[in-house]
Structure 1
Amino acid sequence: MTDFDSDLDLDVDAPDESDGPFVADLDVRFRDLDVMGHVNNAVYVSYLEQARLEYFAAVVDLDVDAPGNVVANLEIDYERSIEIDSDVRVTLWVDRLGETSFRMRYELRDGEETAATATTTQVVVGDDGSPRSVPDEWRERIVAFEGDRVDV
C-alpha cells in the first residue's frame, strides 16, 4: 500500500492524450529553503515525487490499494537555484516501459529557466517487495497518454 503525504492534493483532472507531456505546477514553501534562501537540493527530489504522484493520479488513476512502485534509480542534474518567489513547473513523461519497470524523465523549471533535469527508474513491487509486472491497466493508460514519447 502506498503512503501519501497528507498535505498533498491529488485531486487533479485527467489530462487528454493530446495535451503533451504532463505538467505539475508546484508552490515553493518557506520550509523548502536552506540558510542561503535557496530551495535545498534534497527538496528538488521531493518536487519530483510530488509531480510523479500527480501524474499517477491523473494518468494512471492510481488507487492506493494498487500495486506499489519504488524508485530504483534517480539521477538529477542541477542547473540553477530555485528561490521562494519562483514559479516551479515540473514537466514529466514516461519514455520507457518495460516488463516490471518504467523510466520517467523530468524537467524542473523556474519560469522560463531550467532549474534541473532528472530521470527515475520505477519498479513495480508486490507486498513482499519483489518485482511484479506493470499492471496492464497502467500500461494501457501510460501508452495512451504518452503516445510516441514512450518506448514499449
Structure 2
Amino acid sequence: MTIRKTSDNVPMDSTLTWDQPTPFMLDVTVGDEHIDMMRHTNNVVYLTWLEQVAWAHSVQLGLGPAEYEAEAHGLVVREHRLRYEAASRFGEVLRLGTWITQVDRLSLHRRFQFVRVSDGKTVFRAETHYVCVDIAEGRVRRMPAVFLQAYSPAVMPATRPL
C-alpha cells in the first residue's frame, strides 16, 4: 500500500470537490491486500485509512502518540458514522480528506471524505466522535490544555449533514 501526504496540504487536483474547504489529505493506492471476495476494497480497510489520515492530521497539528503519552491522555472513538458511497478497486488512487468539525473540553468530532482521484467520485464519507480519556485509567477526562491549543485552531464547523 502506498500512502503519502499531499504537498503542503494543498489539493493536487483542483477538479476534486470537497464537502468542506482545505481538508488535510493523504493519498492511498488500493492494493491487492485491500480487495475482498467482492473484488472491491473491503469495508474494514476504510476504517484503517480513516485512522491513518486522522493520526497524520493530528501529528501535523503537533499531537502524535508521544505527546499523548506525555500528557497521559488520548482520544478514543465513541462513535463512527460511515457511508459507503461507491466501490473502489485495485490500483485506484484515493485522496483521503479530513477535518475537525468540533472540539470541546471532553470531545472532538472529525469528518472524512475519500475521493477517487481518476474521476473525482466520492467513495466514502464518515464522521467520528472521539472522547478524551486518561490513558492509565481508561476513564473520560477533560482534555489537557495542549490538546485544546492544538486542535481548536483547526476546527471547521460542518457545513452539511453527513
Shorter-chain TM-score bucket reads 0.7 to 0.9
Cα 1:31–1:86 shift into 2, 3 Å = same
Secondary structure of 1:102's counterpart equals strand
Letter in 2 for 1:140: Q
Flag structure 1 segments of 5+ consecutive residues without an equivalent.
1-6
Give the match for residue 14 of structure 2.
none
Shift in Å, 1:57: 1.0
Report the Cα distance in structure 2 between the residues aligned to 1:57 and 1:48, rounded to whole angstroms. 14
Structure 1 segments, 4+ long, off by >3 Å, are: 7-16
Cα 1:78–1:91 shift into 2, 3 Å = same
Aligned counterparts, 1:1-152, within 5 A: 20-64=22-66, 65=69, 66=71, 67-111=73-117, 112-126=120-134, 127-146=136-155, 149-150=156-157
Contact 2:26 2:95 survives alignment (8 Å) = yes
Contact 2:27 2:94 survives alignment (8 Å) = yes
Secondary structure of 1:51's counterpart equals helix
Letter in 1 for 2:152: V
User: Sequence identity, in percent?
Assistant: 22
Deviations 1:99-149 (A, max 9, x none): 211110000111111001100001111111101212222212222233xx1
Flag structure 2 segments of 5+ consecutive residues without an equivalent.
11-20
Instruction: Compute the TM-score of the two structures, normalised by the length of structure 2.
Output: 0.76
Aligned residues: 141
Root-mean-square deviation over aligned CA pairs:
2.8
Give the match for residue 3 of structure 1.
none
